A = this chain, B = another copy of it.
Amino acid sequence: MSRSSQREDHLKALYALGESQPSSWVSTTQMASHLGVKPPSVTAMVQVLAELGWAEHRPYHGARLTPTGRKLALSLVRKHRLWETFLVARLGFGWEEVHDIAEQLEHVDSVELVKRLDAYLGHPQSDPHGDPIPKADGTFHPEGEVFVLAELNPLVRCEVKAVREGSDATLSAMSAKGIALGSVLMPSQIEALPAAWLEQLMVCKTVDDGSAD
Contacts and interface: CB of A to CB of B under 8 A. Distances in A.
Contact of A104 (B92, B93, B108, B112): B108
A110 interface: yes
A130 to B, nearest CB: 22
A135 to B, nearest CB: 19
Contacts of A107: 1, 104
A101 interface: yes
A104 B97 contact: no
Interface string A1-43: 1100100000000000000000000000000000000000000
A113 interface: yes
Given A1-B2, A5-B1, A116 B104 contact: no
B101 A108 contact: yes
A58 interface: no
> Which 10 residue pairs across A and B have the least CB separation, nearest first?
A1-B1, A91-B116, A104-B108, A101-B110, A101-B113, A91-B120, A105-B108, A1-B5, A90-B120, A1-B2
22 contacts: A1-B1, A1-B2, A1-B5, A1-B107, A87-B113, A90-B120, A91-B113, A91-B116, A91-B117, A91-B120, A92-B116, A93-B112, A97-B112, A100-B110, A101-B108, A101-B110, A104-B108, A104-B109, A104-B110, A105-B105, A105-B108, A108-B108
Interface of A: 1-2, 5, 87, 90-93, 97, 100-101, 104-105, 107-110, 112-113, 116-117, 120
